[in-house]
């Protein structure tokens, strides 16, 4: 195997890891930012540090990426590369539209699409897709949503005799803890997936033996990439999850993040890989419904669910196209270089348009700061 | 029949355990925070330095202890897995 292909594929995996971080910052911190428990920059900085730390906690599932979904023997380096291209482009496209979609599903979709194009449907384990992707994707939002609904209802009931300021302050403080747990779990789960992709690339490229495990430099690179991605803040997705799905108060933010942490950690313990994005989105919806008078904007939810349904086919289509282009060249290296250049150009174009069109940053992610309204009694008291 | 088909793809017993864990945490965590908030609120409303704020302090300690236990359990799960 040409070293250049291996190097380019590893670099593409690192870029995917970065987009994973910046696309999923919202999972841990959207509610924390929305309730102003932490300033946006501080929240993203905390999530970044915890994602970095989380990446070093475990490598237990690093080698299992796409296992049980495609025949591992058919996964070649160009197929991994094409799958990553599909996942990256879908991640960045959904980020542009501010839609929280699953990076893991995008990665699986991209790889499956590339395998379909490069090897054929016989190399895809369809029952694995049903049990490892589709059923968990349907169940995750409901499980977490139900838990968040219960937690939110209870939070308001138990503190109804307490002044709003005291209650909000307490829940805001606790929310920082629950969000931190989600960020740590995200770093552990998602950085491992990229580690697995890089190890698979190195093994397939003959650069690493199958029994070698995850080299330290791979852990360090993946941890750094996901942390830097998180630090750059996917403000568009944060805006959607933090302000557009429902109006979040601190008890709701705490309930959504606590339920998400419980769902992610318990499912991981029992061997399921739930999408952090879908879990947190379900949690926020459940928290929205759990508050008396709370409103969930179903039109936004419909768009999110539509993106979830489209994630695997869309990433798969791009993965298949990329695989087709790569294999269309007589030299695989030339094909990989051309697809890399086209991907970089597309990404650059999306980022330029994003900056010019409805740019969302840390300073405008929540809209204008609410202006305190003087009530007649307080105005009179102050006079 | 439908259950049998679903269980071919997903161990339902594990799924029920996940749901149970989520619901237990959904009850325990807000309860712990609420207990601590009630304790803090009572303490801040205690009348004068001579008032007995023991019960309020106990509520705060209980709430924080439950939260610390939950966080510890979460970290244990993360590291053990």
DSSP A102-162: -HHHHHHHHHHHHHHHHT-GGGB-HHHHIIIIIHHHHHHHHHHHHHHHHHHHHHHHHTTTS
Residues of B with CB under 8 A from a CB of A: 6, 9-10, 14-15, 17-19, 21-23, 25-27, 29-31, 33-38, 40-41, 44, 67, 71, 74, 77-81
Q: If pLDDT is split at 50, 70 and 90, which confidence band does A369 have? A: low
pLDDT value at position A171? 93
Q: Which one, of A96, A77, A87, A80, lies nearest residue A353 by Cα?
A: A96
Query: Could you give the angle at which helices A103-118 and A164-204 cross, rounded to 10 degrees?
Result: 20
Q: Are B22 and A259 in contact (CB under 8 A)?
A: yes
pLDDT more than 90, % of chain A: 62
Q: Locate A309 and state its tokens.
A: 């349904």
pLDDT value at position A383? 37
Q: Work out the average pLDDT over B15-20.
A: 90
B-chain residues near A289 (CB < 8 A): none
Q: For A266-289, how does the pLDDT look when each residue is reduced to its tens digit (9 = 90+)?
A: 888 887 778 899 999 999 999 999
A-chain residues near B67 (CB < 8 A): 174, 177
Report CB contact under 8 Å: B33, A143.
no
Q: Locate A203 and state its tokens.
A: 């093994």
A246 forms beta bridges with A296
Q: Are A151 and A287 in contact (CB under 8 A)?
A: yes
pLDDT more than 70, % of chain A: 93
Q: Taking the CA of residue A312 as centre, how many other CA atoms within 13 Å lie in the half-sphere pointing to its CB?
A: 16
What would you measure as the largest C-alpha separation in chain A, in angstroms? 83
Long-range contacts at A348-356 (CB < 8 A, ≥ 24 apart) = A350/A92, A350/A93, A350/A96, A351/A92, A353/A96, A354/A96, A354/A236
Report CB contact under 8 Å: A177, B26.
no
| A68 touching chain B per CB within 8 A | no
Q: If pLDDT is split at 50, 70 and 90, which confidence band does A1 have? A: low
Q: If pLDDT is split at 50, 70 and 90, which confidence band does B78 have? A: confident
How far away is chain B from the Cα of A131, in angstroms, using its nearest Cα? 5
A-chain residues near B17 (CB < 8 A): 266, 270
Q: Locate A315 and state its tokens.
A: 């990433």
Highest mean pLDDT among A11-20, A64-73, A157-166: A11-20
- Residue from B30, B35, B45 to probe the interface with A (highest A Cβ count within 10 Å): B30
A67 forms beta bridges with A70
Q: Which one, of A253, A303, A302, lies nearest residue A280 by Cα?
A: A253
- Residue from A265, A279, A280 to probe the interface with B (highest B Cβ count within 10 Å): A265
Is residue A6 over pLDDT 80? yes
Q: Are A276 and A186 in contact (CB under 8 A)?
A: yes
pLDDT value at position B1? 45
Q: For A343-352, how does the pLDDT look when each residue is reduced to its tens digit (9 = 90+)?
A: 999 999 999 9
Q: Is A37 exposed, middle or buried (0-12, 13-18, 19+ CB in 10 A)?
A: buried
* Length of chain B, in residues: 81
Q: Locate A51 and state its tokens.
A: 């994602």
pLDDT value at position A230? 94
Interface of A with B in 342-371 (CB under 8 A): none
**How far is Cα A268 from Cα A238, in angstroms, rounded to an integer?**
24
User: For A93-127, b where at least 16 C-beta lie within 10 A, e where not — what string?
Assistant: bbbbebbbbbbbbbbbbbbbbbbbbbbeeebbbee
Q: Locate all alpha helices (DSSP H) within chain A, ordered by sequence.
A: 3-34, 40-54, 77-96, 103-118, 126-129, 135-158, 164-204, 216-232, 235-239, 250-269, 276-290, 298-328, 332-356, 376-382
User: For A151-165, b where at least 16 C-beta lie within 10 A, e where not — what string?
Assistant: bbbbbbebbeebeee
Placement of tokens 């292909």 in the chain: A5
B-chain residues near A151 (CB < 8 A): 25-27, 29-30
- Residue from A51, A138, A147, A255 to probe the interface with B (highest B Cβ count within 10 Å): A147
Return the number of other C-beta atoms located less than 10 Å from residue A286's C-beta: 30
Q: For A12-51, how does the pLDDT look when each residue is reduced to its tens digit (9 = 90+)?
A: 999 999 999 989 888 889 999 999 999 999 999 999 999 9
How far away is chain B from the Cα of A170, in angstroms, using its nearest Cα? 6
Long-range contacts at A291-298 (CB < 8 A, ≥ 24 apart) = A291/A152, A291/A153, A291/A156, A291/A249, A291/A251, A291/A252, A292/A156, A294/A152, A294/A246, A294/A247, A294/A252, A295/A246, A295/A247, A296/A245, A296/A246, A297/A244, A297/A245, A297/A246
Q: Which one, of B19, B28, B17, lies nearest residue A258 by Cα?
A: B28
Q: If pLDDT is split at 50, 70 and 90, which confidence band does A294 have? A: confident
* Length of chain A, in residues: 383
Query: Could you give the angle at which helices A298-328 and A103-118 cross, rounded to 10 degrees?
Result: 30
Q: Which one, of A364, A367, A357, lies nearest residue A96 by Cα?
A: A357
């Amino acid at each position: 195997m040409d070293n250049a292909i291996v190097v380019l594929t590893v670099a593409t995996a690192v870029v995917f890891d970065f987009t994973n971080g910046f696309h999923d910052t919202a999972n841990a911190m959207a509610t924390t930012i929305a309730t102003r428990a932490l300033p946006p920059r501080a929240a993203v900085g905390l999530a970044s540090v915890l994602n970095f730390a989380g990446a070093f906690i475990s490598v237990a599932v690093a080698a299992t990426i796409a296992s049980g979904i495609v025949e591992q023997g058919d996964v070649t380096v160009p197929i991994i590369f094409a799958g990553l291209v599909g996942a990256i482009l879908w991640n960045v496209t959904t980020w542009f539209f501010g839609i929280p979609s699953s990076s893991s599903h995008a990665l699986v979709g991209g790889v499956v699409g590339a395998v379909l194009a490069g090897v054929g449907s016989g190399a895809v384990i369809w029952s694995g897709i049903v049990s490892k992707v589709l059923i968990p994707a349907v169940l995750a939002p409901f499980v977490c949503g139900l838990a968040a609904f219960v937690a939110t209802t209870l939070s308001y009931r138990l503190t109804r005799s307490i002044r709003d300021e005291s209650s909000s302050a307490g829940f805001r403080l606790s929310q920082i803890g629950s969000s931190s747990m989600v960020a740590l779990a995200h770093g552990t789960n998602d950085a491992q997936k990229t580690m697995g992709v890089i190890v698979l690339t190195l093994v397939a490229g003959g650069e690493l033996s199958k029994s070698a495990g995850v080299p330290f430099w791979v852990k360090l690179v993946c941890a750094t990439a996901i942390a830097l991605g998180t630090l750059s803040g996917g403000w568009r997705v944060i805006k959607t999850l933090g302000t557009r799905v429902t109006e979040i108060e601190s008890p709701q933010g705490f309930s959504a993040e606590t339920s998400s942490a419980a769902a992610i950690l318990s499912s991981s313990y029992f061997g399921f890989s739930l999408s952090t994005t879908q879990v947190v989105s379900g949690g926020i919806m459940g928290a929205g419904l759990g508050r008396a008078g709370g409103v969930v904007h179903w039109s936004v939810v419909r768009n999110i669910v539509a993106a979830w349904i489209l994630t695997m086919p869309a990433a798969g289509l791009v993965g298949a196209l990329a695989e087709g282009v790569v294999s269309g060249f007589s030299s695989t290296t030339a094909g990989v270089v051309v697809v890399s250049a086209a991907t970089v150009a597309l990404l650059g174009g999306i980022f330029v348009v994003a900056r010019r069109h409805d740019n969302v940053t840390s300073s405008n992610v929540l809209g204008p700061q609410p202006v305190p309204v003087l009530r007649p009694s307080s105005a009179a008291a102050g006079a | 029949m439908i259950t049998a088909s679903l269980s071919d793809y997903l161990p339902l017993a594990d799924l029920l355990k996940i749901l149970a864990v989520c619901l237990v945490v959904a009850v325990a965590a807000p309860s712990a925070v609420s207990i601590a908030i009630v304790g803090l609120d009572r303490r801040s409303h205690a009348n004068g330095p001579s008032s007995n704020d023991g019960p309020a302090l106990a509520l705060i300690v209980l709430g924080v202890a439950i939260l610390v236990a939950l966080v510890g359990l979460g970290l244990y799960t993360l590291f053990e897995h």
